[in-house]
């Protein structure tokens, strides 16, 4: 209990010594209060209990107050109040004290005392607001549109002299009692005045020479974060309107104007952040805002790494610390993403809330237009953007009137903070303008610390990990976080939980204490100290793994920065076990890493090594198993994307440094020829350095005589890898990934994985990215492959230290009509996924594959090849040019690949291109099925202005639709099978259909647009997906034998006759008691689906087993050689067995199917 006794000052209406004078117009209210007793509105609202004593009429009159703020002090109250009226003491319970803050008036002559913090907190809020400097904005009047102060702070007027005095006293009571008092500040920034001027309070960094424009805003001036100028960066730190106070809540509002990029897809982005006071961007101003390297991912659009960051990104391809970005808005809290909201429509209309831009692109203005002239933004409008964080950490985000987050609970904990804006251009640049910023914050003053946490305990999870647990502290705010002290040093991060774990060194002793911290940053005392000692590591040589070590807090991109650091190589900050020669992506910035272990070739041969990394990297290989004999065999001279094994970008085009057979600086004794011996161990090490932005590091190999690995193909894995590790520590490492399978309809298939890491491990299987209910073991079996079970399967393996996701295994079901969908090597975007989902809903089995690893053979057996516009011409090449499978695509550059436009005289915006800001297409051949029944003329096919790609095909093509404003530019056209392509010497091996879209157009198609798309799919594929009738297949029988001990051999003696080397016996039923005949029909494999038949078997045996397996192992045979095994009869130790078969359909022999019957044993 905190005790305070504070005397409130005199009011205007009476001396405290003269209790006979009621307040003006107050006496009758006091009498009403006494007369109504517990039924009085004030008392009823606070749950007042029956009076134990009544207030005097004089006191009640004085405490009644004004009509709209009644007083309520009565019996049954438990916190002390004194009144001059006879110095009577009245008790006040907590609930009533809190209500007093909103219902009661506190007249002169009352003293406050014995207030517990919670009750005092409520009273302090009662009338504190009028006396505090509460800032609010002055809105520009309509009559003065040009007079807009850059920043205007005004105090709210006080509500009356006695009320101010009351507020002052209660506020003082709150402070003395150590209680919370809310304060608000608000500021507008309308950029009429120059924020770059001295004394403005703004700190602006970057190479943008004119971040402020005096006119063209909404209205008046505005802040130009970027113009459509390449390689531009602007960072802005706003004045601290809270003067260093802790901010518990805020609301940010502004007007945004975005767009009119010089190319279709701007490689730009910007961020709006409320950064904590200790954020790296604020740590060393102005230098820390002068470049974008300190933002998340090393990019301006990544936002601050602390506090609340809203990222506006027009390019998907960069990597944030916890994953990739998207075209759209990303919301991040303390460097963790809580929302990825795609905005797929490029250059949408002003109010199109599916578009990041605020107006269409003016293609005609570029390339000769002035990027700073007002004409360059004439097609754009201003749109409102709002971010609001409340006192409980709930976050709301609204853009263009669309609520992206609605009071989403976050782990945000209050702190000192400032507003930070940042933006940059990176190609096909666009405008980013901001105006009319209004920032309203709530800050607190609170002197009461939380209680000390209790029951602190520590344990060693394994040699490299320590875990602490404790019992929560309490605080009058209802919220508390925790600081950890390790060996006398307080760690920088707050913990919003009652447990904490970290990596330590084996065989070490670490001392810990913790303390609680409340929203006002008051701290409790420390707990008693606990010591945790970890055991020494016991390492085991393990095949199929390598060791990954991270060294954090090292800036720059140079390898020397890593190897010259005192931590390298023996004192890594984190050690993991990895199941392939590839480090994690999205780990962070400013770190170095090493992947090390042993390689054990299974074949003596010459080998070529490839590495790919971001940023600089070096690959070493020892001539034996000793690190001391390691030789440099390849490097990454700058940076590259994940698994870019053969890309020449940022590498010597003639002698690429990242491959060992070309690297001019090799130290290998044999030069660029590396010969390795089967079964021998060779120590290997890849070290790479990450500065900012994306991060990756991996290597692979091939035999010198094998083809080069495709970009995007997996890093080296398998038992050729090995390392000395403790398999029971660290986050999960997946050693065996699930393997793709092709099976027949109805067949069963099992996906398996093997992982190591600190125990226990948990598993969650996913199909197409969605969790499968109950699929929580290391293996997952699809009992019957069908339309509802085909797709992509992954497994997420988790433990207390983290999680790992396996590679994707595709389940392809033979017999289902299939579409091969080629997406970007980096992965499908949101429109790609939407297309895949639509195809699946219409009965198509969609097999997805990245562009670089795709092979011509992937098209075998497919009804249609579909190529996304996220695939570049270089990625797809000529892989499918000659495929005798229909192709549907919509990337203009790929028109060259398929010779549908003038490849020899290719020119962007001449032979092919993109029209932005389109709302219609022009149907020119209404009688064609591709017109989907629409009449000739203009057709609105999209919900809002969007991109429609086009081409100028050759004379043999049939044009169905053109873009709305140019009849020479075809938006939908088709070459029929056998038709001459643009190069008349080449005939189309199958349908080649172009459908005008771009990366994100599909999400913007309206019902008519989708009807056109569906018609294109059906026409190209030759009709709707149809599952063949199961009656065209027959039945086969195959009986095998057990060994004398009852175990199944697994291999039939007559395999040479049957042509089946082995039998996978499954689904066994115990029929030991069955003697005589089995009248239940043998189960047939009907095109992969188990179905009963009329076939029966009779036998005579003393020990009989049988199965109803579907015999999927024989379905690899085709045509007249198809052998379908559906039943097994094992005689065990029986000496005599008689088998007869009845009711075999005649169609078996008529159709030429082979039937084998074996009764062995």
Give the DSSP letter string of 536-578.
PP--EEEET-EEEEEEES--SS-HHHHHTSTTTTT--SEEEEE
Q: Which two tokens stand for residue 211?
A: 């971040």
Residue linked to tokens 């106070």: 245
> What confidence score (pLDDT) does residue 591 get?
95
Residue linked to tokens 């009577």: 88
CA–CA distance, 884 with 896 (Å, rounded to integer): 18
Residue linked to tokens 């073991």: 777
Kind of pairing, strands 818-823 and 864-867? Answer: parallel
CA–CA distance, 405 with 390 (Å, rounded to integer): 13
> What confidence score (pLDDT) does residue 546 get?
96
- Tell which residue, 937, 936, 938, 941, has the closest CA to residue 926: 936
CA 844 to chain centre: 28
DSSP assignment, residue 377? G
Please, are residues 348 and 945 in contact by the beta-carbon 8 Å criterion?
yes
DSSP assignment, residue 291? S
Measured between alpha carbons, how far apart are the two ends of the chain, in Å? 89
User: Where in 138-197 does DSSP place strands (E)?
Assistant: 154-155, 181-189
> What confidence score (pLDDT) does residue 1028 get?
52
Q: Which two tokens stand for residue 203?
A: 């700190």
- What residues have CB less than 8 Å from 396, skipping those under 6 apart? 386, 387, 388, 389, 403, 405, 406, 407, 408
Enumerate domains of the chain plus CATH numbers: 6-136+157-179 (no CATH), 182-445 (2.60.120.200), 454-533 (2.60.40.10), 541-725 (2.60.120.380), 733-808 (2.60.40.10), 817-1021 (3.40.50.880), 1030-1150 (no CATH)
CA–CA distance, 438 with 458 (Å, rounded to integer): 47
Please, are residues 1036 and 1060 in contact by the beta-carbon 8 Å criterion?
no
The β-bridge partners of 398 are: 386, 403
CA angle 188, 189, 194 (to 5 degrees): 150
Residue linked to tokens 């001391």: 628
DSSP assignment, residue 348? -
**Helices 117-131 and 161-176, packing angle to 10 deg:** 140
Please, are residues 465 and 207 in contact by the beta-carbon 8 Å criterion?
no
CA–CA distance, 1022 with 1034 (Å, rounded to integer): 28
Please, are residues 22 and 61 in contact by the beta-carbon 8 Å criterion?
yes
Q: Which two tokens stand for residue 154?
A: 């005004």
Please, are residues 716 and 529 in contact by the beta-carbon 8 Å criterion?
no
Please, are residues 509 and 531 in contact by the beta-carbon 8 Å criterion?
yes
512 phi/psi in degrees, rounded to 5: -130, 145
Distance set, CA 300 to CA 46, 85, 219, 236, 258 (Å): 51, 65, 27, 11, 16
Q: Which two tokens stand for residue 740?
A: 């793709």
> What confidence score (pLDDT) does residue 1143 get?
46
CA–CA distance, 348 with 326 (Å, rounded to integer): 17
Q: Which two tokens stand for residue 127?
A: 């009338």
- Tell which residue, 880, 833, 761, 926, has the closest CA to residue 340: 833
- What residues have CB less than 8 Å from 68, skipping those under 6 apart? none
CA–CA distance, 52 with 75 (Å, rounded to integer): 5
Q: Which two tokens stand for residue 1029?
A: 């009738």
> What confidence score (pLDDT) does residue 154 get?
35
Q: Which two tokens stand for residue 208?
A: 């943008």
Average pLDDT by consecutive 10-residue portion of the chain (1161 residues)?
28 31 36 39 35 33 34 33 31 36 34 37 37 30 34 37 36 33 82 93 96 96 97 97 92 97 89 95 95 90 95 79 80 94 86 92 90 97 97 96 95 93 93 97 87 97 94 92 96 91 93 95 96 94 94 94 95 90 88 98 97 97 97 96 91 96 97 97 97 89 95 91 92 91 86 93 93 96 87 94 90 88 83 90 88 85 93 84 95 92 82 88 97 96 87 96 95 97 93 92 91 96 71 35 38 31 28 34 42 45 35 40 38 42 46 39 30
Could you please report the per-residue DSSP string of 825-873? TT---HHHHHHHHHHHHTT-EEEEEETTT--GGGGTT-SEEEE-TTS-H
- Tell which residue, 1100, 1098, 1113, has the closest CA to residue 1050: 1113
Per-residue burial over 120-143, b if 16 or more Cβ lie within 10 Å, else e, is bbbbbbbbbbbbbebbbbeebeee
> What confidence score (pLDDT) does residue 851 get?
85
Please, are residues 281 and 406 in contact by the beta-carbon 8 Å criterion?
no
> What confidence score (pLDDT) does residue 756 get?
92
Q: Which two tokens stand for residue 501?
A: 């774990």
666 phi/psi in degrees, rounded to 5: -60, 145
CA–CA distance, 82 with 86 (Å, rounded to integer): 9
DSSP assignment, residue 563? H
Tell me the Ramachandran region of residue 775: left when phi exceeds 0, alpha when psi lies from -120 to 50, beta otherwise. beta
Distance set, CA 566 to CA 561, 573, 595, 617, 1068 (Å): 10, 12, 18, 19, 62
CA–CA distance, 990 with 270 (Å, rounded to integer): 45
Q: Which two tokens stand for residue 173?
A: 């009571």
Q: Which two tokens stand for residue 719?
A: 């038992």
């Amino acid at each position: 209990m905190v005790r305070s006794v504070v005397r409130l000052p005199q009011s205007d209406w009476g001396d405290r010594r003269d209790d006979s004078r009621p307040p003006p117009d107050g006496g009758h209210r006091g009498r009403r209060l006494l007369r109504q007793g517990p039924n009085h509105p004030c008392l009823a609202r606070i749950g007042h209990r029956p009076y134990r004593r009544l207030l005097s009429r004089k006191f009640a009159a004085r405490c009644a107050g004004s009509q709209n703020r009644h007083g309520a002090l009565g019996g049954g109250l438990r916190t002390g109040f004194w009144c001059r009226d006879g110095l009577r003491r009245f008790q006040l319970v907590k609930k009533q004290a809190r209500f007093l803050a909103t219902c009661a008036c506190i007249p002169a002559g009352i003293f406050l005392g014995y207030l517990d913090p919670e009750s005092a907190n409520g009273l302090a809020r009662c009338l504190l607001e009028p006396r505090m400097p509460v800032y609010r904005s002055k809105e520009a009047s309509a009559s003065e549109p040009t007079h807009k102060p850059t920043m205007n702070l005004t105090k709210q007027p006080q509500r009356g002299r006695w009320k101010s005095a009351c507020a002052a006293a209660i506020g003082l009571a709150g402070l003395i009692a150590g209680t919370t008092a809310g304060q608000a500040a608000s500021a507008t920034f309308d950029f009429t005045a120059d924020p770059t001027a001295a004394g403005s309070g703004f700190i602006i960094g970057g190479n943008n020479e004119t971040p402020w424009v005096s006119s063209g805003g909404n209205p008046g001036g505005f802040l130009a974060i970027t113009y459509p100028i390449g390689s531009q960066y602007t960072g802005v730190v706003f004045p601290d309107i809270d003067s260093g106070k802790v901010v518990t809540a805020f609301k940010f509002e502004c007007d945004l104007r975005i767009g009119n990029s010089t190319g279709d897809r701007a490689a730009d982005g910007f961020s709006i952040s409320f950064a904590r006071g200790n954020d790296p961007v604020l740590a060393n101003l102005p230098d820390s805002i002068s470049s974008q390297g300190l933002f998340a991912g090393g990019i301006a659009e990544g936002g601050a790494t602390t506090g609340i960051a809203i990222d506006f990104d027009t390019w998907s391809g960069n990597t944030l610390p916890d994953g990739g970005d998207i075209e759209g808005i990303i919301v991040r809290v303390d460097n963790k993403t809580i929302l990825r909201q795609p905005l797929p429509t490029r250059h949408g209309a002003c109010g199109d809330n599916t578009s990041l831009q605020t107006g269409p692109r003016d293609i005609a203005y570029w390339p000769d237009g002035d990027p700073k002239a007002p004409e360059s933004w004439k097609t754009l409008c201003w749109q409102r953007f709002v971010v609001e964080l409340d006192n409980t950490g709930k976050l709301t985000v609204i853009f263009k009137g669309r609520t992206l987050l609605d009071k989403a609970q976050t782990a945000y904990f209050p702190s000192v903070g400032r507003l930070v804006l940042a933006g940059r251009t990176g190609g096909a640049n666009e405008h980013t303008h901001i105006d009319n910023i209004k920032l309203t914050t709530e800050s607190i003053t609170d002197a009461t610390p939380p209680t000390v946490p209790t029951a602190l305990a520590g344990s060693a999870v394994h040699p490299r990990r320590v875990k602490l647990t404790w019992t929560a502290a309490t605080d009058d705010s209802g919220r508390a976080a925790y600081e950890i002290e390790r060996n006398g040093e307080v760690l920088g991060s707050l913990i919003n939980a009652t447990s904490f774990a970290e990596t330590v060194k084996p065989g070490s002793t670490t001392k810990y204490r913790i303390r609680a911290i409340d929203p006002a940053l008051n701290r409790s005392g420390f707990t008693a100290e606990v010591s945790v000692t970890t055991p020494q590591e016991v390492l085991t040589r393990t095949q199929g793994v390598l060791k990954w070590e991270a060294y954090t807090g090292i800036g720059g991109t140079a390898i020397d920065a890593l190897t010259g650091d005192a931590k390298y190589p023996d004192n890594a900050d984190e050690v993991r076990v990895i199941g392939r020669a590839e480090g994690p992506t999205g780990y962070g910035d400013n770190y170095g890493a090493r992947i090390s272990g042993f390689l054990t070739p299974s074949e003596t041969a010459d080998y070529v090594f490839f590495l790919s990394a971001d940023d600089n990297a070096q690959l070493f290989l020892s001539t034996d198993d000793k690190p001391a004999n390691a030789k440099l065999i390849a490097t990454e001279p700058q940076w590259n994307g994940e698994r870019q094994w053969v890309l020449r970008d940022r590498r010597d085009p003639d002698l690429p440094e990242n491959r060992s057979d070309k690297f001019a600086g090799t130290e290998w004794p044999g030069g660029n020829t590396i010969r390795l011996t089967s079964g021998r161990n060779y120590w290997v090490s890849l070290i790479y350095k990450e500065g900012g932005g994306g991060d990756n590091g991996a290597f692979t190999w091939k035999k010198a005589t094998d083809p080069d690995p495709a970009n995007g193909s997996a890093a080296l894995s398998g038992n050729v890898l090995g390392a000395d590790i403790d398999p029971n520590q660290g986050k999960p490492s997946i050693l065996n990934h699930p393997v793709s399978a092709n099976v027949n309809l109805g067949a069963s298939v099992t996906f398996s994985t093997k992982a190591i890491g600190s125990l226990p491990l948990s598993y969650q299987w996913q199909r197409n990215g969605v969790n499968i209910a109950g699929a929580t073991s290391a293996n997952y079996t699809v009992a019957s492959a069908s339309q509802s079970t085909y797709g992509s399967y992954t497994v997420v393996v988790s433990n207390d230290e983290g999680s790992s996701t396996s590679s994707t295994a595709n389940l392809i079901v033979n017999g289902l009509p299939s579409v091969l969908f080629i997406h970007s090597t980096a992965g499908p975007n949101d429109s790609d996924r939407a297309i895949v989902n639509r195809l699946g809903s219409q009965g198509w089995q969609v097999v997805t594959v990245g562009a670089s690893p795709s092979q011509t053979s992937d098209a075998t057996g497919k009804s249609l090849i579909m190529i996304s516009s996220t695939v570049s011409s270089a990625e797809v090449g000529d892989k499918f040019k000659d495929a005798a499978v229909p192709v549907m695509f919509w990337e203009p550059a790929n028109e060259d690949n398929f010779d549908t436009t003038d490849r020899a005289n290719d020119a962007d915006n001449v032979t092919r291109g993109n029209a932005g800001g389109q709302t219609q297409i022009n149907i020119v051949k209404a009688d064609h099925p591709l017109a989907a029944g629409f009449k000739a003329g203009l057709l609105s096919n999209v919900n809002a202005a969007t991109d429609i790609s086009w081409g100028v095909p050759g004379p043999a093509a049939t044009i169905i639709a053109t873009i709305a404003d140019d009849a020479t530019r075809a938006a939908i056209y088709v070459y029929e099978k056998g038709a001459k392509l643009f190069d008349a010497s080449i005939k189309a091996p199958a349908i080649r259909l172009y459908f005008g879209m771009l990366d994100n157009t599909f999400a913007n198609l309206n019902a008519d647009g989708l009807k056109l798309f569906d018609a294109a799919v059906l026409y190209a594929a030759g009709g709707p997906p149809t599952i063949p009738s199961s009656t065209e297949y027959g039945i086969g029988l195959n009986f095998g034998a057990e060994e004398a001990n009852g175990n199944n051999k697994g291999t039939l003696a007559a395999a040479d006759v049957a042509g089946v080397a082995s039998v996978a016996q499954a689904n066994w039923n115990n029929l030991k008691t069955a003697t005589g005949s089995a009248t239940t029909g043998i189960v047939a494999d009907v095109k992969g689906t188990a179905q009963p038949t009329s076939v029966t078997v009779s036998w005579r045996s003393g020990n009989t087993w049988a199965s109803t397996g579907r015999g999927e192992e024989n379905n690899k045979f085709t045509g007249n050689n198809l052998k379908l095994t559906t039943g097994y009869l094992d005689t065990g130790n029986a000496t005599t067995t008689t088998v007869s078969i009845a009711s075999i359909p005649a169609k078996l022999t008529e159709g030429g199917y082979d039937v084998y019957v074996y009764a062995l044993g």
